[in-house]
Amino acid sequence: KKIHYFEEVTSTNSIAKEIAASEEEGALVIAEVQKGGRGRMGREWVSPHGGIWISVILKPGIPLRHASRLTLVAGLAVANVIRNMGLDSRIKWPNDVRINGKKVCGILTEAKAEVDRVDYVVLGIGINVNMDLKDIPESFRAGSTTLKAELGTHIKRVSFLQDFLFELEQQYILFKTQPFSHILNDWLALSDTIGREVKVTTPSRIIEGKAVGVTPDGALVIRKADDTKEEIIAGRCIYAR
């Protein structure tokens, strides 16, 4: 599989999308530094030296409405690898991997579809590995951590990346061969969102209530004060307490 390695890029996701049509499934774009790293919902993703900034091109041939499932697949793979290092990582819906309540990884999934079939999915994964927290601007630092800070030691990024890519491939094989409920159950076991009072912000509104589940497409199910339930496919989630 092709690996496109760069010292510096604007965003690995942007490059991956440019080349995706002519690449095989499994091709990777990796950069040491991103100058225009992108987060979800139009936010910036600060990407200095010492992190892992990577985009994986996948061609799963699934309906577009299932593309968000791959965000859960990737989050599960990251959380599993971090747990194998002895850290108690948890997943905050939809895609934040956290340690002790602080974010260590974010995932930005972008898909292109023809009618309802995806042509490709770009899984953009950013992991705060060895950088010093002081390299992250103060406005972004709150609520963030790094693997080095949590483990108290420098991490070998290459072997971490190998372990992660191996785990991602395992999860992707399960995704393609097993009912999605299997992955969803594993994801639910590592998520700390279900059972929590949450406030979810979407571009059009704010929904508050108790997170009671996740649908097979990865939408968060919220039970509101009036006891009705609502499913939210994408949004920014805050734990209310």
The residue type of 131 is M
Among 50, 75, 94, 124, which residue sits at the site for ligand BTN (rule: CB under 6 A)? 124
Site string for ligand BTN, 83-112 (x = CB under 6 A): ------------xx---------xxx----
- Closest alpha carbon to 66 in 54, 77, 58, 55: 58
Tell me whether residue 1 or residue 43 sits nearer to ligand BTN (CB atom): 43
Helix (H, G, I), strand (E, B) or coil at 185: helix
Asked if 39 interacts with ligand BTN (CB under 6 A), we say yes
Instruction: Tell how far CA 137 is from the center of its chain.
Output: 21
Near ligand BTN by CB under 6 A, which window of 40-48, 136-144, 164-172, 190-198? 40-48
Asked if 75 interacts with ligand BTN (CB under 6 A), we say no
Residue in the block written with tokens 């509101």:
224
DSSP state of 171: H
Number of residues that bind ligand BTN (CB under 6 A): 22
Question: Among residue numbers 179 through 208, which ones bind ligand BTN (CB under 6 A)?
Answer: none
Helix (H, G, I), strand (E, B) or coil at 170: helix
Length of the chain: 241
Helix (H, G, I), strand (E, B) or coil at 241: coil
Binding site for ligand BTN (CB under 6 A): 11-13, 34, 37-40, 43, 45, 47, 53-55, 95-96, 106-108, 124-126
